[in-house]
Structures are given as structure tokens and as C-alpha cells.
């Protein structure tokens, strides 16, 4: 099977290109890490670790997939992990 045939078959079956699928998998893993409040890794370092060499492009892909920026995800994760408890009167 040729490379192009494989690509067309993949796109027909999944509705996205193989490159987009791989990128989305990497972005999902980054999101899982960002939602884990115990990780104190910089977003720029995390994006580089996963092969995104241009931060603006990484942010654009991330926002397109998840509807929020990586920074917003990281801030939201801290709120969910540390809920404030109110004292009953």
C-alpha cells in the first residue's frame, strides 16, 4: 500500500488526517498533564517536550481543540483540585 493510499484510507475512516490525529493525541496528553495540579512544569517547556516548537502555533491548536488556552486550563485545574470549603454556621 502506498503512503498516499494509507493517508486517504485514514482520512476516510477517521475524518481527519494522520498528522492531525497525532497532533490531537499530543495535545490531549498535554491537557492531562496541565489538569494535574501537582505538575509545576512551564507550558512552554511542556509544549517543547511534545514537539511543538512554536508557542503561538501550539496555543492556537490547543485553543481550537479545547476552547481555552493552556494557561486557562492550568488555572482551572488548580480551582478544581483545591475547592474551598465553607464552614457551616
- Backbone dihedral region for residue 13 (phi beyond 0: left; psi -120 to 50: alpha; all else: beta): alpha
Domains and CATH numbers, the chain: 17-81 (1.10.10.60)
Predicted confidence (pLDDT) per residue in 3-62, tens digit: 999 999 999 999 999 999 999 999 999 999 999 877 778 999 999 999 999 999 999 999
- Residue 87 scores a pLDDT above 60: no
pTM, entire model: 0.80
User: In whole angstroms, what separates CA 59 from the centre of its chain?
Assistant: 9
User: Residue 36: helix, strand or coil by DSSP?
Assistant: coil
Nearest to 19 by CA among 3, 7, 1, 9: 7
Amino acid at each position: 500500500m502506498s503512503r498516499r493510499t494509507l493517508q486517504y484510507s485514514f482520512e476516510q475512516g477517521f475524518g481527519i488526517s494522520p498528522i492531525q490525529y497525532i497532533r490531537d493525541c499530543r495535545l490531549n496528553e498535554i491537557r492531562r498533564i496541565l489538569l494535574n495540579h501537582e505538575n509545576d512544569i512551564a507550558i512552554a517547556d511542556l509544549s517543547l517536550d511534545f514537539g511543538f516548537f512554536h508557542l503561538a502555533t501550539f496555543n492556537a491548536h490547543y485553543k481550537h481543540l479545547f476552547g481555552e488556552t493552556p494557561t486557562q486550563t492550568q488555572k482551572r485545574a488548580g480551582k478544581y483540585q483545591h475547592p474551598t470549603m465553607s464552614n457551616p454556621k
